[in-house]
C-alpha cells in the first residue's frame, strides 16, 4: 500500500477512535503514534522535534502552580465573588467564559483554562451542579480569543512573523480594523449562542460566607505567569528559545515548590504539586503531536495546500471562502499549528498569483484555523486540558456532549468573522 494512503487511513481511524472512545484517548494516541514510528512514516530522529515541548512544559508547570493556587483557597473566594454578582447559574457560566476569553487574549489558551477552571469547579461544588458545561464554555471561549492579539496563540505569532505584524497591528492595520475587533465581534455573537445553550440553567445562586484565603503567594505566582508570558512575547525570536513559555511556567513552579518547602518544612506540598500534574493529558498531547508530525512528514498537508492553488481559478471570494471553512474543518481534527505553518506560505503564493494583498487570506486562515479547533474535544490543546481536568474530577465527557455547546459557538464566531473580514478587507 502507498505510504501516503496508509497514513491517511491510519489518521482517520485514530481520530474516529479518539472521538468515540473518550476513556481511552491517551492509549489510542500513543498506540497510533507508535504505528507511525514503526512504519517509518516519521523518521525516529524527527519524533522528538515533532513534540511541542513548549506546550508540554507549560501545561505541566501551570498544573503544579494551580495546585498551590487551589490549596490557598483563592479559587473558592473568586467563586464566592462570582456567585454574589450573578443571579443564576447561566450568568455565572457566561461571566467565567468572558473572563477566560479576556485573559486568553494575552496569554496561552491552555494556561488560561488551567487558571480559570478551578474557579468554575469550585462554584459547581458549592451549587451542587455538574462542572462540565462551565468548563467547556471556558475552554472554547479561551480558544476564540487566542486570535485576538499577537500574543494570544501560537498561530497568531506565526501570522505576525509571516506578515511582519507587531502587537498593535492586531488592533489597527493599514488604517482598518485588525483581528482584535473581528474576534470581539465573533465573541459577542458566540456569547448569544451560550445564552441560548444555557437558557435552562436558571437555578438561582445564593451568596455564602466568603471563603478566607490562607495564602496569597500562589496567586502572585499565577499573576507572574501572566506577566512573564506577555513580556516574553515581545522578545525577538532570535533572543529566546522555542520553549521559553514552558521554561517560564516550570521555573515559577520550582519557585512555588521552594516556597512551600520553606513554609511547611516538609515535602507534602511538593508531592501534592507533582501529583496534580495530569500525566494522562500530557501523554495524550505527546501522542497527538507525533501523529500530526507524521501526517505532515508524509506530505498530506502540503498536498492539501497545493489543491487550493489548483482550484482558485482567480476568484478571490471563492478562495477566501475555501480557506476559512476548510481551515475550520481541518483544525477540528488536527493541531492548527502545523496546519497554519504549512498554509501561510501557500496563502501568500495564492495572493501573489492573483495579484492581491495577502492580508484578507491571512486573516481568513487565522480565523478558520484558530476558531475551528473548538468544534471537537480534541481539536485544540486547551480542550484536551479542560477534559483532563474534568476527568480528574470524575467526569468523562463524550464528544456529542462537548459538541452540543461547541458547534453553535464556533459557527457563530466564524461566520461573524468571515462576513466582517470580507466587508472590511476585500
Residues of the chain with pLDDT under 50: none
pLDDT value at position 151? 67
**And the C-alpha cell for 40?**
517509518
Q: Are 230 and 151 in contact (CB under 8 A)?
A: yes
- DSSP letter for each residue of 223-240: HHHHHHHHHHHTS-GGGS
Dihedral Cα 293, 296, 298, 299, nearest 10 deg: -170
pLDDT value at position 324? 92
pLDDT value at position 184? 92
Q: Are 332 and 15 in contact (CB under 8 A)?
A: no
Domain boundaries, the chain: 3-425
pLDDT value at position 269? 65
Mark 164-199 as b/e (b = at least 16 C-beta within 10 Å): ebeeebbeebeeebbbbbbbbebbebbbebbeebbe
**How far is it, in rounded angstroms, from Cα 334 to Cα 14?**
11
Inter-axis angle of helices 359-372 and 316-333, nearest 10: 30
DSSP state of 343: H
**And the C-alpha cell for 317?**
471570494
**How far is it, in rounded angstroms, from Cα 139 to Cα 382?**
6
pLDDT value at position 1? 63
**How far is it, in rounded angstroms, from Cα 161 to Cα 166?**
9
Amino acid at each position: 500500500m502507498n505510504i501516503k494512503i496508509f497514513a491517511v487511513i491510519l489518521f482517520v481511524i485514530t481520530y474516529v477512535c479518539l472521538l468515540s472512545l473518550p476513556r481511552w484517548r491517551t492509549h489510542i494516541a500513543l498506540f497510533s503514534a507508535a504505528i507511525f514510528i514503526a512504519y517509518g512514516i516519521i523518521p525516529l530522529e524527527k519524533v522528538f522535534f515533532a513534540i511541542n515541548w513548549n506546550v508540554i512544559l507549560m501545561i505541566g508547570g501551570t498544573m503544579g502552580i494551580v495546585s498551590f493556587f487551589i490549596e490557598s483557597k483563592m479559587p473558592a473566594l473568586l467563586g464566592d465573588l462570582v456567585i454574589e454578582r450573578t443571579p443564576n447559574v447561566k450568568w455565572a457560566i457566561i461571566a467565567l467564559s468572558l473572563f477566560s476569553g479576556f485573559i486568553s487574549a494575552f496569554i496561552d489558551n491552555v494556561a488560561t483554562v488551567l487558571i480559570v477552571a478551578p474557579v468554575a469547579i469550585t462554584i459547581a461544588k458549592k451549587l451542587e451542579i455538574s462542572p462540565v458545561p462551565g468548563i467547556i464554555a471556558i475552554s472554547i471561549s479561551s480558544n476564540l480569543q487566542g486570535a485576538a492579539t499577537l500574543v494570544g496563540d501560537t498561530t497568531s505569532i506565526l501570522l505576525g512573523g509571516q506578515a511582519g505584524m507587531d502587537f498593535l497591528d492586531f488592533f489597527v492595520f493599514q488604517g482598518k480594523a485588525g483581528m482584535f475587533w473581528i474576534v470581539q465581534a465573533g465573541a459577542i455573537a458566540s456569547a448569544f449562542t451560550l445564552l441560548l445553550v444555557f437558557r435552562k440553567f436558571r437555578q438561582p445562586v445564593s451568596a455564602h460566607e466568603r471563603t478566607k484565603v490562607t495564602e496569597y503567594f500562589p496567586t502572585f505566582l499565577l499573576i507572574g505567569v501572566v506577566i512573564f508570558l506577555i513580556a516574553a512575547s515581545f522578545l525577538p525570536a532570535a533572543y529566546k528559545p522555542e520553549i521559553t513559555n514552558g521554561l517560564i511556567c516550570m521555573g515559577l513552579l520550582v519557585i512555588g515548590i521552594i516556597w512551600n518547602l520553606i513554609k511547611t518544612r516538609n515535602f507534602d506540598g511538593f508531592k501534592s504539586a507533582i501529583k496534580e500534574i495530569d500525566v494522562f493529558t500530557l501523554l495524550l498531547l505527546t501522542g497527538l503531536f507525533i501523529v500530526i508530525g507524521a501526517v505532515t512528514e508524509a506530505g498530506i498537508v502540503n498536498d492539501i495546500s497545493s489543491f487550493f492553488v489548483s482550484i482558485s481559478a482567480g476568484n478571490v471570494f471563492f478562495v477566501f471562502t475555501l480557506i476559512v471553512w476548510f481551515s475550520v474543518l481541518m483544525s477540528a481534527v488536527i493541531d492548527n499549528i502545523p496546519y497554519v505553518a504549512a498554509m501561510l506560505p501557500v496563502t501568500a503564493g495564492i495572493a501573489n498569483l492573483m495579484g492581491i494583498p495577502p492580508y484578507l487570506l491571512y486573516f481568513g486562515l487565522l480565523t478558520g484555523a484558530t476558531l475551528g479547533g473548538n468544534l471537537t474535544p480534541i481539536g485544540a490543546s486547551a480542550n484536551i486540558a479542560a477534559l483532563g481536568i474534568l476527568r480528574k474530577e470524575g467526569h468523562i465527557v463524550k464528544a456529542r456532549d462537548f459538541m452540543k455547546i461547541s458547534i453553535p459557538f464556533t459557527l457563530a464566531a466564524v461566520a461573524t468573522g468571515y462576513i466582517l473580514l470580507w466587508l472590511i478587507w476585500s
